Amino acid sequence: MPSAIKQMLLGRPIHTKEAGHQRLSNPVALAVFSSDALSSVAYATEEILLGLAIAGTGALALAWPISLAIAALLVVVAFSYRQTIKAYPGGGGAYIVAKENLGDFPGLIAGGALLIDYILTVAVSISAGTAAITSAMPAMLPFKLYIGVAFVVLLAVMNLRGIKESGAIFSGPTFFFLVMLAITIFAGFFKQFLGGGIPVTPHTFPMAEQGAAAASVGLFLIMRAFASGCTAMTGVEAIANGVQAFKQPEATNARRTLTWMAGILLFLFLGTSALATLSHVTPYVELVNGQPETIETIISQLARGIYGTGILYYLLQAGTAAILILAANTSYADFPRLGSFMAGDGYLPKSLRDRGSRLVYSNGMILLTAMSILLLVVFGGETSRLIPLYAIGVFASFTLSQSGMVVHWFRNREPGWHWSAFVNGLGAVVTFVVLIVIAAAKFTSGAWIVLLLIPILVAYFQWVKRAYVRAAARVALPAEEELEFSYRSHNAMHNHVVLLFSSIDRRLVRAVQYARSIKADVIEGLFVDVTGDKAAEVRAEWERLELGYKLTVIESPYREIIDPIRDYVCAIPRPTHDHVVTVVLPEFVPETRAEYLLHDQTSFWIKSALFQLPGVIISDVPYHTEEYLSEQPAQCPVKGPQQAD
């Protein structure tokens, strides 16, 4: 990306010394790290009802006890993660805890599960936010996929500007939603008990129309509804993963923010489920191409019953859409950070380890954006199709993290460790049971995809690690070779220089000047004749210039360029490691970026092919027109972050 456009989109580069000023206050951190968990109240109750509706409207009354069970689970997990923050104030969450206490393999499972869950968080949040928009404006329904992709790109750009700046921008919509939903819950209870009830339109569930209503309300149906409702707990671990983003004292502020998040989430989730149960609201779903598609969300139906279609209804829908879309911001805060931890340990490409110009892990954000858009496209931007994949990864990481914490307390035996070990042990047992329930209940609906992806990801992490270890071993300089290297360093390499050119012009002159400046045993020219009528002309021109170097012309009747060059270079003798071949490529540099498209990219493919050859060095010799058109040598332009600072 050109620097001017990059700076316009992302802002000026931030100096490394300013990193401390990028820390987040508790309210902003609540918006950044809790938006995923808090936003789940917009669809968690609906997912419970969708799971129960298959057995008919009579089963919907079970939504309330299922919600209570999920709320109890949330309390256990929240207390468990408070203990994790206390023990690991450096952040890293499930990956660090599991890796340090249970071993590398469990750590990789936790890391892979979380990475998958963060990608799903973006896809699910954006699709649910888009559903809130199309519920209020049904005319936009055919464009929901395009709307979703546009929101992902917008979120990526905002987060690339920096976590503090994006947090400040996103805090307003997050708190606006919390206030609007709280008002709606209070207004709903008032109308339910003092105003004669909340009027909602009953809807027939399409699966029931196909005969599924005869299904009994059995354990498996309840398990499926419970598993779907557990999406309310996704994102609870985010604060533990990003402790270092808080202002000092980091751990204290993170624990305090986690407590606030859990309290707000409990109130909103139970309040929404209670209103849905009391008003007997039913999911409004239709079959489109054999797949269920949400026409109007539960939140939208409740709001219509409470407010009508006035300004308060549209304000709530706007707030709901905003929080659902911004829920993806949690993934943008944690996915790149986790990727950086794992890259630092050698399990992911090193490009994910470093921060960009705005002190964020920009490569991780770009990867997250690409994978999230791919998911939206594959699943058509439909929340109900993505939900079955959701929550498995996060509960796997919950279980491994809490199990690791139990080991941590038994190893270190810090003051009060018995209570801490009990809390984390209870969290490990409960989340493991829920993980089994979710995996079993959602397996045929798509959960098998995640269960298959996690081991594939773990295998990939191990392959990356082995590749880096192999590369490090190959380039390492053992002590026994140091003396030999010191002796050999006094001896110059034997260098066979090949001047590769396509025409005799100023580019070749510049390349010859460069070749003469380096010490070489042999300098020769190489020309590939792909047209079959240039050989004589090139030889005559070469001799006329009296360069004093041998010229080799390769006839290429099949008009191949790459393979003849590669074969010729490979055929040059290299009797020892001290013998190398340097291929010099003169290249024309266009004056404007638009002109780059007017010149072929053959040199790029030549360099790509030669780069794979051992003992071959590639030298680019660029020819800049402006350097020769002015009387003074052209100077490099001075620009960049140094100017801004």
Q: Which domains, from first to last, does the chain contain?
A: 37-468 (1.20.1740.10), 490-644 (3.40.50.620)
Token digits for 91?
């952040």
Return d(Cα 450, Cα 432) in angstroms, integer. 16
Side chain identity at 593, as an amino acid letter?
A: R
Token digits for 125?
């949040």
Inter-CA distances, 408 with 84, 111, 395, 404, 414, Å: 10, 18, 20, 6, 10
The residues pairing with 91 across neighbouring beta strands, listed in sequence order, are none
Contacts of 543 (CB under 8 A, 6+ apart): none
Contact 568, 528 (CB under 8 A): no
Name which of 49, 64, 30, 314 is nearest 178 in CA terms.
30
Cβ neighbours of 237 (radius 10 Å): 29
Q: State the pLDDT at residue 215.
A: 46
DSSP state of 534: S
Return d(Cα 317, Cα 133) in angstroms, integer. 7
Cβ neighbours of 167 (radius 10 Å): 26
Q: Where do we find the tokens 């190489």?
A: 526
Question: How wide is the angle at C-alpha 540 spanned by C-alphas 539 and 543, nearest 5°?
Answer: 85
Phi/psi of residue 345, each to 5°? -85, 0
Return d(Cα 417, Cα 620) in angstroms, integer. 63
Cis amide prior to 249 (ω within 30 degrees): yes
The per-residue DSSP string of 324-348 comes to: HHHTHHHHHHHHHHHHHHHHHTTSS
Phi/psi of residue 623, each to 5°? -110, 115
Residues of the chain with pLDDT under 70: 1-23, 55-58, 91-92, 162-168, 203-218, 286-294, 355-359, 384, 387, 477, 479-492, 597-600, 626-645
Strand-pair category, 579-589 with 616-624 = parallel
Contact 298, 276 (CB under 8 A): yes
pTM of the shown model: 0.73
Contacts of 182 (CB under 8 A, 6+ apart): 267, 268, 271
Cβ neighbours of 412 (radius 10 Å): 10
Q: State the pLDDT at residue 287.
A: 64
DSSP state of 617: E
Name which of 335, 418, 362, 327 is nearest 93 in CA terms.
335
Return d(Cα 10, Cα 170) in angstroms, integer. 16
